[in-house]
Structure 1
Amino acid sequence: MMRWSSIRQLQWFQTPSIETYKMWCHNQRVEPAVDALRDGSHLMWIGRRRYDRVVLYFHGGGFLVPLTVQAIIFIRAMQIQLNETTPGVGVAILAYSPAPFETFPTQLEQANSALAHLFANGLSSQNLQIIGDSAGGNLALQVFSHALHPEILPTIAPSPLASTAPLEGVFLLSPWVNPQAMGSDAGSFHENRKKDIMTPATYRYWGEHGAPLHSLPASQHAFVAPNLAPKGWYDGMEGFVSRVLITAGEYECPRDDIVAFREDGLREYQDATMVLIREGVHDDPVAEIVAAAMGAGERGATEKSIVDWLHRGFK
Structure 2
Amino acid sequence: MSVKLTLQQKLDFLPAIASITLAAFYGIITGLWRTERQAKTLFLHIGYAVMRKVTARLTPSQMQYATPTSNKVYEQYARKARIQAQTVQLEHGALGHWIGDRDATNVMIWYHGGGFGLPANIGYFKFYAQLVQTLKTSNKSLAVFSLTYTLAPTETYPTQLKQAVAAARYILSTGRSPDTIFLGGDSAGGNLVSGVLSHLAHPHPQIEPLPLPNNAKLAGAAMIAPWTLLDTEFPDQEIYHGGDLITQAVAQPWASAYIGKSPRDNYTDLSNAPVEWFKDFPVNRVLITGGGNEILLPIILDFAAKFKEGFERVELFVGHRECHVAPIYNLYLGDATETAQGKKVKSWLVELAE
TM-score, with length taken from structure 1: 0.88
Deviation at 1:308, TM superposition (A): 1.3
Within 2, Cα distance between the matches of 1:173 and 1:114? 19
Deviation at 1:51, TM superposition (A): 5.5
Correspondences of 1:216-231 after superposition (within 5 Å): 216-217=262-263, 221-231=265-275
Provide the residue aligned with 1:145 in structure 2: 198
The counterpart of 2:163, out of the listed 110, 130, 139, is 110
Matched, 1:200 2:245: no
The counterpart of 2:216, out of the listed 157, 165, 168, is 165
Within 2, Cα distance between the matches of 1:124 and 1:82? 18
1:105-153 CA distance string (max 9 Å, x none): 1111111111111111121110011110111100000011112222xx3
Q: Which has the larger radius of gyration?
A: 2
Question: CA 1:69–1:132 in 2, change beyond 3 Å: closer, same or farther?
Answer: same
Within 1, Cα distance between the matches of 2:160 and 2:340? 33
Provide the residue aligned with 2:172 in structure 1: 119
Within 2, Cα distance between the matches of 1:181 and 1:246? 22
Provide the residue aligned with 1:234 in structure 2: 278
Within 1, Cα distance between the matches of 2:308 and 2:341? 22
Give the aligned length. Answer: 301
Provide the residue aligned with 2:29 in structure 1: none
Q: Secondary structure at the match of 1:154?
A: coil
The counterpart of 1:68, out of the listed 121, 128, 144, is 121
Provide the residue aligned with 1:267 in structure 2: 309
Within 1, Cα distance between the matches of 2:64 and 2:331? 25
Deviation at 1:160, TM superposition (A): 4.2
Q: Secondary structure at the match of 1:43?
A: strand
The counterpart of 1:277, out of the listed 319, 325, 329, is 319
Within 2, Cα distance between the matches of 1:113 and 1:173? 21
Q: Secondary structure at the match of 1:216?
A: coil
Matched, 1:8 2:50: no
Unaligned runs of 5+ in 1: none
Q: Percent identity?
A: 28
Q: Which amino acid aligns with 1:172?
A: M
Question: CA 1:32–1:10 in 2, change beyond 3 Å: closer, same or farther?
Answer: same
Provide the residue aligned with 2:342 in structure 1: 303
Unaligned runs of 5+ in 2: 1-53
Aligned CA-pair RMSD: 2.1
Retained in 1: the 8 A contact 2:96–2:167?
yes
Provide the residue aligned with 2:298 in structure 1: 256
Question: CA 1:305–1:195 in 2, change beyond 3 Å: closer, same or farther?
Answer: closer
Retained in 1: the 8 A contact 2:285–2:314?
yes
Within 2, Cα distance between the matches of 1:185 and 1:92? 34
Within 1, Cα distance between the matches of 2:156 and 2:82? 35
Provide the residue aligned with 2:27 in structure 1: none
Question: CA 1:76–1:119 in 2, change beyond 3 Å: closer, same or farther?
Answer: same
Q: As a proportion of its length, which structure holds more helix?
A: 2
1:209-231 CA distance string (max 9 Å, x none): 2344xx224xx522112222234
Question: CA 1:115–1:51 in 2, change beyond 3 Å: closer, same or farther?
Answer: farther
Within 2, Cα distance between the matches of 1:252 and 1:123? 36
Within 1, Cα distance between the matches of 2:91 and 2:336? 41
Deviation at 1:35, TM superposition (A): 1.2
Q: Secondary structure at the match of 1:223?
A: coil
